[in-house]
Amino acid sequence: MADLRELYQELILEHSKAPRNYRELRDANGKAEGYNPLCGDRFSVSVQVQGDSIADIAFQGSGCAISKASASMMTQSVKGKTREEARKLFEHFHRTVTGKQNGSSDLGKLAVFAGVAEFPTRVKCATLAWHTLQAALEGKPEAVSTE
Ligand code: ZN
């Protein structure tokens, strides 16, 4: 288990150092800002929705390793999914990082964040990008705050 945990930490570190989809999205049709005052994490998430699917997604901003890695892996996980699939994935992810559900294979790589459940103050770091994505998909450009 200790080895597995190290592997998880490596994945989070790797994504925080080299975040995926970290760029401006020129043809975005949905965008929102998210802020976690507890930690100082601040990100914007942009989506390009075609029909009901997230055709493209990108994020920018700054924050701790967990928030950045979570945003990076979130963009990878929801690209190509429908709004409903993304919402369900977030619910599943949220239950996992709050310890209400054990990580399962449905989450894929996102299961690495299951360890966050042991650190309640980090839950907001891990979920910030997801809350911001929901706001972007719902067309609520005003800043979302985890508080
Ligand atoms: Zn944070």
Ligand 1 centroid to Cα of residue 122, in Å, is: 6
Do residues 66 and 114 touch, judged by C-beta distance below 8 A? no
Could you give all domains of the chain from N- to C-terminal order, each with its CATH number? 2-145 (3.90.1010.10)
Would you call 43 helix, strand, or coil by DSSP? strand
Q: How many CB atoms lie within 10 A of CB 62?
A: 10
Do residues 41 and 131 touch, judged by C-beta distance below 8 A? no
Residue 5's identity, in one-letter code, is R
CA gyration radius for the chain?
Answer: 14
Q: What residues pack around ion ligand 1 (CB closer than 5 A)?
A: 39, 41, 64, 67, 125
Residues 6+ apart with CB under 8 A from 17: none
What is the percentage of the chain residues whose pLDDT exceeds 90? 72
Q: Residue 1 above 60 pLDDT? A: no
Ligand 1 centroid to Cα of residue 134, in Å, is: 19
pLDDT tens, 43-83? 999 999 999 999 999 999 999 999 999 999 999 999 999 99
Do residues 80 and 136 touch, judged by C-beta distance below 8 A? no
Q: CA angle, 79 as apex, 89 and 144 as ends, to 5°?
A: 65
Q: List C-alpha distances in Å: 26 to 20, 57, 114, 125.
A: 16, 10, 33, 26
pTM above 0.75, yes or no: yes
- Per the prediction, the chain carries an average pLDDT of 91
Ligand 1 centroid to Cα of residue 46, in Å, is: 20
Query: How many residues belong to the chain?
Result: 147
